[in-house]
Homo-oligomer: A and B are copies of this chain.
């Protein structure tokens, strides 16, 4: 186990009806909030009215900014920053999924940042101050409700970049599984692939003596897989959504990766797909992850045997570990298939013509500052290209 620094201060209020408490919960922290959200679904579902009623009853003023899209845009972030400054907002309430929360975090930093907030994403400048962010989650997936991470897409530059800081961890997040009942099925599938990837990126490691976190990762993955199929069969299954929602937070609040060298190659490779082709993040991960496993497993075959046996339930002769691993990867592909997720770049509508460009962007080679991706195995642009090609 490596030394670590665990800090997950976001308070999680979980369960039926919790969203009605938003005004009462924010009252000690804010006189005026920015209500930040995506599209019309917030109003259609009645959540918009619930939030507005609760804020009003608690005497909290608000302004609003909707229009966040998946792969949230820098242009809307700029708009939000200007609005918060003009209106003297002192807290951002993000009501939506990861994209809305990531956008809210960018605005929260931007209110205090001197230059263009994109610099923070591009240069990793340390952020000293940000408005507090609270969230009401409507899609469990990104884990952004407890993490200090934000990912923003610069439409002009066709770049999708992430940034993380403990200062960006939400103050509190409300998660009512009932709010997930109206999601389309493909968002369930994409979300589950994303949550599983948050665990995978931490799970696959060369660090040894990691009994507890191995187990925490495995339990989280198994919970996600079991309950994804249950929710897929009945989109109003409260218990299944409750497990998925809670597991999504545990997957990404940092805990399950403590003391482990982490990987994050699949996220790095996927960001290029989203930035150029605007595909759903989870769908991209579902395509790339089994390919990545196939490409790297020989570098730490015991780690992948453990995954295949413990998570995917593979039985077989340990004298042929490669067969166990490949069966485990096949079962993962099969699971993603049952959820209706794509298996290839072609399924995502991505042709072969820009693979090399993406591989070079993902590893920084395109900008003459190569930083190989990955922890378990270092991936140069040629490796990334090989993985893209493997799942073409």
Interface residues of A (CB under 8 A from B): 1-9, 11-18, 208-209, 211-213, 215-216, 218-220, 222-223, 226-227, 239, 242-243, 246-247, 250, 255, 258-259
Residue in B4, B16, B226 whose beta carbon sits within 8 Å of that of A211 in the complex = B226
Shortest CB distance A74–B (Å): 31
Query: Would you call A258 and B239 a contact (CB within 8 A)?
Result: no
A259 to B8, CA, bound (A): 18
Query: Would you call A215 and B209 a contact (CB within 8 A)?
Result: no
A209 to B222, CA, bound (A): 14
For A8, the chain B residues whose CB sits under 8 A away are 8-9
Query: Would you call B239 and A259 a contact (CB within 8 A)?
Result: no
Query: Would you call A14 and B4 a contact (CB within 8 A)?
Result: yes
Q: Could you list some 29 contacts between A and B, CB below 8 A? A: A1-B15, A1-B243, A1-B246, A2-B15, A3-B15, A3-B18, A4-B15, A5-B11, A5-B12, A5-B13, A5-B14, A6-B12, A7-B11, A8-B8, A8-B9, A14-B259, A209-B239, A211-B222, A211-B227, A212-B219, A212-B243, A213-B246, A215-B219, A215-B220, A216-B219, A216-B250, A218-B219, A246-B258, A250-B255
A250 to B15, CA, bound (A): 22
A15 to B1, CA, bound (A): 8
Taking A15-B259, A211-B227, A215-B223 as known contacts, 20 extra A-B pairs with beta carbons closer than 8 A to each other, sorted by chain A number, are A1-B15, A1-B239, A1-B242, A3-B14, A5-B12, A5-B13, A6-B11, A7-B12, A9-B9, A14-B259, A208-B239, A209-B239, A212-B219, A212-B223, A212-B250, A213-B246, A215-B218, A215-B222, A216-B216, A250-B255
A255 to B212, CA, bound (A): 14
A2 to B14, CA, bound (A): 8
Shortest CB distance A298–B (Å): 26
For A18, the chain B residues whose CB sits under 8 A away are 3
A2 to B8, CA, bound (A): 22
For A3, the chain B residues whose CB sits under 8 A away are 14-18
